[in-house]
């Protein structure tokens, strides 16, 4: 059974998330402070951590920093109840978070994100969201009988967007993931690749790439096909 550590000082949200993930097959450890989170990392050995950024005492950034001193692999998702500026997101990613999540939490989307992350850790090649399947091995996005071929760079972008579905991925992160550096000369190339991806995703109404102007791009999972 997959084990999830949830850290939030909002007891109501903590209880709701714990109940939801337990109902979906997770073994949940829930704590209300950064100090307790650090203890639980050692005693519970979770597969993934869902961590509130704005904790009393030790905040989310410091918790990640201390976890990464001993554990460089366990995925950590940061939750925040207020607007987070790009520099704070870059700091979180630099410390070792794999995603920022804005409250209020959309539990169905979060469940899909977490299942995808854990599937990737187990070495599986596909992301699954509803009836959408994204295959990294075959350079192809598939949905039943439909399929769209992707280039290597498109695959790299989709890989990052699927891991951070519903959250804005800074342009600098995408540029570094594709080319290994954040070079202004490649900025326009990124926009061109996204433009091509949007054209290809038109056959899959469930998926939308949105431009958060000045910040980056995010992958939206639409509730209903139009």
pLDDT digits 0-9 by tens, 178-205: 887 766 677 788 999 999 999 999 888 8
Q: Are residues 68 and 151 in the same domain?
A: no
Q: Are residues 88 and 166 in the same domain?
A: no
State residue 6's pLDDT score: 97
State residue 226's pLDDT score: 45
Q: Are residues 96 and 14 in the same domain?
A: yes
Report the distance separating Cα 27 and Cα 1, nearest Å: 6
Choosing from 60, 79, 109, the residue where a domain stops is 109
Is pLDDT above 70 for 224?
no
DSSP 79-128: EESS---HHHHHHHHHHT--EEEESSP-HHHHHHHHHHHHHHHTT--EEE
Secondary structure element (H or E) that encloses residue 159, with its range = helix 152-163
State residue 204's pLDDT score: 84
Give buried/exposed letters for 30-51 (b at 16+ CB in 10 A, else e): bbbbbebbbebbeebebbbbbb
Domain count, the chain: 2
**pLDDT tens per residue, range 5-28:** 999 999 999 999 999 999 999 999
Q: Is 140 within the bounds of a domain?
A: yes
Choosing from 75, 109, 143, the residue where a domain stops is 109
Q: Which residues constitute the domain of residue 216?
A: 125-221
Secondary structure element (H or E) that encloses residue 2, with its range = strand 2-7
Q: Are residues 150 and 182 in the same domain?
A: yes
Q: Is 147 within the bounds of a domain?
A: yes
Q: Are residues 131 and 34 in the same domain?
A: no
Q: Is 77 within the bounds of a domain?
A: yes
Size (the chain), residues: 226
CATH code at position 135: 1.10.10.10
Q: Are residues 60 and 7 in the same domain?
A: yes
In terms of pTM, does the model score above 0.75?
Answer: no
Q: Are residues 101 and 129 in the same domain?
A: no
């Amino acid at each position: 059974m997959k084990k999830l550590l949830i850290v939030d000082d909002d007891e109501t949200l903590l209880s709701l998330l714990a109940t939801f993930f337990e109902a979906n097959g997770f073994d949940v450890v829930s704590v209300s402070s950064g100090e307790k989170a650090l203890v639980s990392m050692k005693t519970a050995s979770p597969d993934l951590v869902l961590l509130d950024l704005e904790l009393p005492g030790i905040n989310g950034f410091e918790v990640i920093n201390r976890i990464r001193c001993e554990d460089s692999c366990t995925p950590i998702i940061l939750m925040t109840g207020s607007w987070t500026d790009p520099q704070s997101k870059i700091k979180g990613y630099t410390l070792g978070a794999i995603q920022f999540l804005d409250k209020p939490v959309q539990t169905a989307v979060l469940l899909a994100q977490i299942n995808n992350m854990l599937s990737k850790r187990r070495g599986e090649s596909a992301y699954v969201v509803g009836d959408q399947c994204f295959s990294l091995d075959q350079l192809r996005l598939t949905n039943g009988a439909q399929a769209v071929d992707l280039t290597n760079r498109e695959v790299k972008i989709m890989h990052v967007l699927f891991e951070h579905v519903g959250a804005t991925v800074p342009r600098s992160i995408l540029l570094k993931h594709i080319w290994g550096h954040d070079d202004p000369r490649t900025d326009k190339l990124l926009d061109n690749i996204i433009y091509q991806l949007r054209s290809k995703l038109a056959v899959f109404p469930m998926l939308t790439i949105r431009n958060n102007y000045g910040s980056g791009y995010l992958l939206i999972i639409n509730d209903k096909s139009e």
